[in-house]
Structure 1
Amino acid sequence: MMPPPLGLMRAGRLAVRAGSRARASGGVSPGPVSLSVSPLKSLVDEPLSIRVAGLGPLQAVTLRAQVLTERGSLFDSWGQYQADGDGRLDMSRSPSLGGGYRGVVPMGLLWTLSPSPIEQPYQQLRKDRLTSPMHVDLCVHSGHNGSVTIPGPLLVKQRIERWYSKPGIRYGRIREGNLRGSIFLPAGDGPFPGVIDLFGDDGGLTEFRACLLASRGFAALALPYFGFEDLPMTLTDIHLEYFEEAVNYLQKHPKVKGPGIGVIGSSKGADLALSMVTFIPQVVASVCISGSNANTLSDLYYKDMHLPSLRYDVDRMIVLDSGILDISETLNLNTKKDSIIPLEKAEGHILFVVGEDDKIWNSKLFAEEAIERLKKHGKDNYELLSYPGAGHCIEPPCSPFRFAKIDRLFGLPVLLGGEAIKHCYAQQDSWQKIQDFLHLRLC
């Protein structure tokens, strides 16, 4: 008898090796595989329970999450798992052995969602229509193939809904006087504590956090200050009277509980939040996330007060090997003295939230300087939440980790800092404490 062709012999050896690897990583599924996700419909800041059953003992599987945005962009994530001896795994107890994250991370699949390799990198996962759910497809694939783009056979799939708005949330656009923005009101008669929501130098109207705040019991005003409708298209001189107009609007709203108003700001919005609690007495609670204790990016005016902007030195910008810009050393601190916000004038309470690996600027140092200034003036109206391993963009826990973003001015990716899982745990912890702070100071 003639021996089999050499190619067939090699193929046979490869098949035997593949079978050996499959046995080493656990048996195949003995029957139908089930994927249990609870709840199937939830707010985006709520945790999920994710369990798989019906697998073979010690079977290797890959769990994936996929989101197709309203703009047609695909985001995905993956983790490699191994079933226990009974063919089960539970993300609250079972560690990821590889993929986009490692260890026991119950929300790892949602926290590490990022643009698919076929998409433009550094995009942010955002929801445009907040009154409809974000659909997330959770999948279980056989084996560990080493790449999310080439998964093993699909064993089971489950679609879930993640919502920004609770039933009954009321929403309206504002175009009153100079004021522009959106207001979100909880269901019910109220009145509700009023909060103004500010973001950074990307401009435009950002509504997702205000909508989520309304789902948590606040009357929230998402307030743009440039790059929206007939507001200035670029970040020019800022007049605090515009923000005072927003405070007055909320105070007079029949569904808003007064007299004090709160403000939450991120990045550039954070130093605006500090200026508001300093100069506008109706602001009694200010949440400063990843901010500076000095006025940044544009000069600030209010009545006869003028705070110049902290200057930037672009010559100190670093281009990393990845092509990402590191701008963490570009602030010229020699220009800071005249730009520092006189926080000792603030009668309201301040919550500083900072990531210790912030690569936009040293927000931890700025918060510590602000606190030291308050202490020197006999003030104790502050709290500090400082998170090791967290970067610049600390948002509600619905927001997956981003290590870089496309900068509005440079059009290039800019480093944000942080480690994915540590950053997302910081988002989870700080979100609840921010709500507690606002409820305490506004109720």
Structure 2
Amino acid sequence: MYNILVVDDEPLICKGLAGLLNASGLGIGKIMTAESGEEALDYIRLEEIDLLITDIQMGEMSGIELMHQAKIVKPWVQTIIISAHETFQYAQMAIRLGARDYLIKPLNSDQFLDSVRSVLLKMDKPLPRTEEALAGGHGDFRMEEPLPESVDSLNRLLEVAVDHPDEPHREQSFYESIGIAGPYFAVIKVRLALGRAAGEMAFPEKDIPLMQYASLNIIKELLDHELNAQVFYAPDRSINILAQWSEETYAEQTNRINQLEMIGRSMHHHIGKYLKIGCTVGISQILKGLQFVNVLSRQADKAMLWAREHGDYHVFYYGDFSWHNYARDPNADELSSQSNRIVEQAKAYIEENYSQKGLTIQEVARRNHVSPNYLSYLFKKITGFNLWEYVVKLRMEESRNLLLHTDLRRYEIADRVGYESPEHFSKIFKKYYGVSPSDLKK
């Protein structure tokens, strides 16, 4: 059973689409509706959402921004965009973020349900290449793997700077011939749990190449519409990914690190789901210049070192750690101190700004110079609260105080504690305290 969230700033459209879904006979569990991006994000943070159906133009937060933030919180959430505008730029942005469909208003009921049915049917099916790989590669399926010489050259690029004083351009020309141009690069490394360390499932040696092959297929499938990247085997049975951006693409895109982390989390999720093996993902920063790819490779390796300290976290970004504060890699006590400092700073910022409408995890993370995912993980680990649950806790405590000790109306209290919609405020309040605001007031 799937949970669906319908988002539109026109209540009648929300109601109509929810009615269509309820009467569709599809395997749907809960259908939730929201009338703003901010309200929708609360649902995504606090509920298990499988499919997001959102309008593209809604007040302060557009459907594109909602989709982007939803992907950061839960990268496996699927999205269908609906719009009154048949604008190529909007459609291009939506597809780039992974939207499964882009429907134009006024919606045709059959077309809408066909789109939803198509997305739901694909959710539990293994990725096609993975299914073929695990079946032994039978049928017409053939996937081109990088040629051995290309793999060797790409791995060498990750180990050694390309420019040499005697022939500065020879190697760069060769890499351009195999599709490496840049000029902006990042390195992602996926270390598969294939029985090399304590706690990992031990696979028979004969099965390991198949697991690598299937993992490579999953990663390629996920990257097809997400990133311009070379994916290849590493010498240590890991998978290496060399992501690249042209000058034009780099200038167009924002939140590139968030995109890389989202991809990393999707890879971890899908490899675990389809292959039943764990993996650790290390992500470098982004640098300009082919000569820095080996530096980026070391960054990805270094990021994965923190798996030793954070065994329940799986996607590590090099920039989340204050390497410059230490002459050597920090020990466990120093790492713990750094983590506590990040969380305390985040708490202080939230306590000052929880009543701000449209407050996002991204904003809190940016103030702390860490990624939203890493901040969310640390916050939960240290405080016991999900970061957004802490925001809700502060909002609910303040609203209860205002209800009991002032004559402010519900909509005024909702506005004071950061909610756009009094109705949404009431839903959250009742879920939190078990009674409605009006019943508590009585």
TM-score, with structure 2 as normaliser: 0.27
Structure having the larger proportion of residues in helix = 2
TM-score, with structure 1 as normaliser: 0.27
